[in-house]
Chain A
Amino acid sequence: MDRDPTVCVMGEDVGHYGGSYKVTKGLATKYGDLRVLDTPIAENSFTGMGIGAAMTGLRPIVEGMNMGFLLLAYNQISNNCGMLHYTSGGQFKIPIVIRGPGGVGRQLGAEHSQRLESYFQSIPGLQMVACSTPYNAKGLMKAAIRSDNPVVLFEHVLLYNLKERIPDEEYVLCLEEAEMVRPGEHVTILTYSRMRYHVMQAAKTLVNKGYDPEVIDIRSLKPFDLYTIGNSIKKTHRVLIVEECMRTGGIGASLRAAIIDNFWDYLDAPVMCLSSQDVPTPYAGTLEEWTVVQPAQIVTAVEQICK
C-alpha cells in the first residue's frame, strides 16, 4: 500500500476493527477510511464494486470475512471477475485480490467451515492460490496484488497464529509455482494450506517407519504447477494427494485428472486422494475430527501406496 497508492482494501470490519483475524490491523489509521474501506454487509455488491474499481484503475483487495461468505458474491466472482476481461475483448483488466480465512476451524459449525476452492476452480479467468506459512503468505499476497489477473487467495482460520522468521528485504513469490517442502524418494505427497501440517506430522511418523516421503505444497490451486509436480512423480512414481476440501469435485479430483493425463506412464500405483468427507462440517469436536484428514490416515495411505 505504501508502494502503490491505487492499492486499497475493502471488506467488512477491515478498517476500524482491523479485520476479523486482524490481518488489516492498523492499516486504516495509517491510510485512511477510504483506502481501507469498512463495507456494509453486502458481499455481492461490494465485491462487484471492487471489480468496477479494478476496471477503472484501482487495485482493490476484497476481504471475505470468512471465505464462506463469498458464496454470496459468486455472481460477481464468476461473471465479472473471471469473465470480464474476455467478454470485453481484453479491454478491461481486473487486478483484484479476493482473500479471506476459510477452511475447517475449531468447531465453527458447517457454514463457517467451508472450502470454496472447489467451487471456484471452474471459473475461467480466475487464479487461485493458497498460502500456508507466514513466508509464503507474504510472498503470495504481494504477487497477487501485483498481478493483473484476478486472484483468489485462500488463507486458513487455524494458521494465523503461526510464527516464522521472514526476510527483511522485499520478496515476491511466483503465483504459479508449487513449493518443495521436503524432498524424498518413495512417494509424492501433494497438499496445500493446513493439510501441509498434518502431512508433515505424518511425515515424522513415516520417517521413523523407514519411509522417505516427498512433500510438495502445491500453493497454486489453479493453475497447477505441473513442472514441479511432474518432476516429483517422475522420481517417486507414487502419488498421494491430501486436501481439506470435499472429495466430490475438489481440488484433488482435478489434480488427479491432470496427473493421469500428463504422467500416466510414470505411475507405479493408482493416484490416491485423501479429502474431507462429503459431509457438512459438524459442530461436535469428535465428529469434526472425523470429517477432516488426520495424520494417522496419511500414514496408512502411504503404507498402502508403497506396498
Chain B
Amino acid sequence: MSAFTAVKVLASGPFAGRSSSGDKAAASAWIGSSSCRILRPFHPHQPFSSVSSSSPSILRPIQAVSSSDVLSSKIEPNSPLSNLLITREEALDLYEDMVLGRSFEDMCAQMYYRGKMFGFVHLYNGQEAVSTGFIRLLKKEDSVVSTYRDHVHALSKGVPARAVMAELFGKATGCCRGQGGSMHMFSAEHNLLGGFAFIGEGIPVATGAAFTSRYRREVLKEANCDYVTLAFFGDGTCNNGQFFECLNMAALWKLPIIFVVENNLWAIGMSHLRATSDPEIWKKGPAFGMPGFHVDGMDVLKVREVAKEAIGRARRGEGPTLVECETYRFRGHSLADPDELRNPDEKARYAARDPIVALKKYVIEHNLATESDLKAIEKKIDEVIEEAVEFADASPPPPRSQLLENVFADPRGFGIGPDGKYRCEDPGFTQGTAEV
C-alpha cells in the first residue's frame, strides 16, 4: 500500500520544474512518497486546498498554489515560475484548442434552439482545460474514450469541426455518417473510440484499447508500441461498478491507461456529495494499486503538468493512473436541463475561474503572445465554426440506402433468404428497403 500514495497536486512551479526536466527518479520518488497530506475537509463552497507536510522521502515540498495566486502576483520574467511551463507555440495551441471547444459548444446551443440539431446535447463549456490539457499531449495513435459530453474531446483529438457539426445535424457527411449523433462521436482516423450514452460503458472499452497496446508490444512484438489510452468520465460514473472493475484490471495488468475524472460536482441534478460516500475520488486510485491525483481542472497548465506525468508513466509501462480534475460545467447537464438546483454563487465562483480567461491572462503576462495574436486566433476559430455550420447545413441527410449498410461489418450476417441468396445480395438491401 505504501508503494502508491494518492497525491494532491495544486502546485505548478516547483512540480513543473521537476517533471519538465524529465527526472525520472525524482518523479517516481515523489509519487512513491508515503507522506500524508493534510487536507481540510471538503466543503462544497470552498475549492480544495491542502498543506503539505514535508517528509524526508519527498525531494522538495509541494506547495499548494491556486491558479489565482499564480496569476494575480506580478511574475517577473526571471522568477522561478517563469521557467515557463509552456512555449509560445504550445500556449497558442492550447489557447486555440480551448477557444475552439468553447465557440463550438456555444454554436451548438444556438443551432439547437434554431432546430438544426435534436435529442440530447451535452455541452462542455467550462471544462475545456481538461480536454485541452490532456489531449493536446497525445500522439495520433493514442486513443481517447469519452462519454456523451464528447464534442470537445473529438475536436481536441483532431476531428474536424465540420465533421462533428455535420454529425450533430444528422447529415451523411458527419463523422459517423449521421448514425451516431451527439453522444456517439467516433473517429477511426483519430483514434476516438466513442462517444457513449450510458455512463461507465466506455471505460471497459478504453481498458480494451490499452490492453491491445500492451498486447501489441508483448505478443506481437511491436517494440515501439507505447500507445496510451485516455478514458474521460464524470463524478457520477465513479460510483458505477464498471469504474471499479476497470481500475482493478488496469492496475492488475499494468495497462497504459489514464482514468480522467471530470468532477464537475453534478450528475444532472444529483450533487456529487449526495451520491458518494467518500467524495474524494482521487483516493480510490491507491485502493487499487495506482497513483491518484487531484488537480485544479479549471487551470489548463496544471492539468497539462499532471497529464504529462500520467502519460509518461503509461508510456514507460508503469501502469495506469487516476486523475481527478475538479472542474465545472457552465451550462446545464444538457440543453434540456433547466439547471435550477445549482447555487448561483457556486456558478459565479467557477465562472470567475474560466480556464480560457485564465490562460489568456497567463499568456499575456508572460509575454508569450500579444492581445492581437489571441484575437487573431479567436477570429480564425469564428471562421472555422461558421464554415462548419455552412458545411453541415449544405450537406445532404443520409439517403435511404444507408439504412442497412453498417449494421454488420460482414453483411452476410443478415442471413440467407428463402431464395437461397444472401439477404445483402437483394437489391432492396442497398436501397434500404429490404426486409431483414
Q: Give the B-binding residues of A (Cβ under 8 A).
A: 5-6, 8, 32, 34-35, 39-40, 42, 44-58, 75-76, 79-80, 84-95, 124-125, 127, 147-149, 175-177, 220, 222-228, 230, 262-263
Contacts and interface: CB of A to CB of B under 8 A. Distances in A.
B196 A5 contact: no
B408 interface: yes
Contacts of A93: 409
B396 interface: no
Given A44-B245, A92-B186, A148-B410, A227 B416 contact: yes
B248 interface: yes
B208 A42 contact: no
Contacts of A80: 196, 201, 205
Contacts of A149: 408-410, 413
A90 B204 contact: no
Contact of A52 (B208, B218, B405, B418): B208
A95 B409 contact: yes
A147 B410 CA distance: 7
Contacts of A125: 407-408, 413
B409 A40 contact: no
Interface string B168-181: 00000011111111
A48 to B, nearest CB: 2
Contacts of B414: 223
Given A8-B215, A45-B249, A125-B407, A56 B415 contact: no
Interface stretch (B87-95, B295-303, B343-351, B419-427): B419-427
Contacts of B269: none
B406 A89 contact: yes
B404 to A, nearest CB: 10
Nearest to B414: A223
A28 to B, nearest CB: 13
A205 to B, nearest CB: 31
B412 to A, nearest CB: 6
Contacts of B246: 45, 49
Nearest to B420: A227
Given A53-B209, A55-B209, A230 B418 contact: yes
B102 interface: no
B212 interface: yes
B412 A49 contact: no
26 contacts: A34-B214, A35-B215, A40-B248, A42-B245, A45-B203, A45-B241, A46-B245, A48-B203, A48-B205, A49-B204, A49-B207, A51-B208, A52-B193, A55-B205, A58-B215, A76-B204, A79-B201, A87-B179, A90-B406, A93-B409, A127-B408, A149-B410, A175-B412, A220-B415, A223-B423, A228-B416
B177 A224 contact: no
B194 interface: yes
A227 B206 contact: no
B60 to A, nearest CB: 38
B294 interface: no
B211 to A, nearest CB: 5
A147 to B, nearest CB: 6
Interface of B: 143, 145, 174-181, 184, 186-188, 193-198, 201, 203-216, 218-220, 241-242, 245-246, 248-249, 252-253, 405-410, 412-420, 422-423, 436
Contacts of A148: 409-410
A273 B413 CA distance: 25
A85 B242 contact: no
A34 B405 CA distance: 35
Nearest to B183: A87
Nearest to A84: B194
A42 B250 CA distance: 13
A58 B212 contact: yes
B415 A85 contact: no
A94 B407 CA distance: 11
A56 B145 CA distance: 12
B155 to A, nearest CB: 17
Contact of A91 (B178, B188, B197, B211): B188
B401 to A, nearest CB: 13
A168 B235 CA distance: 55
A234 to B, nearest CB: 9
B249 A86 contact: no
Contacts of A48: 201, 203-205, 207-208, 242
Contact of A55 (B208, B241, B242): B208
A15 to B, nearest CB: 13
B249 A40 contact: yes
A55 B413 contact: no
Contacts of B248: 40, 42
B210 to A, nearest CB: 8
Contact of A86 (B175, B198, B407, B436): B407
A227 B205 contact: no
A50 B204 CA distance: 8
A87 B416 contact: no
A34 B210 CA distance: 13
A85 B409 contact: yes
A62 to B, nearest CB: 10
Contacts of A223: 413-416, 423, 436
A35 B187 CA distance: 27
A124 B407 CA distance: 7
B416 A88 contact: no
Contact of A79 (B181, B198, B249, B416): B198
A124 B207 CA distance: 24
Nearest to A148: B409
A8 B145 CA distance: 23
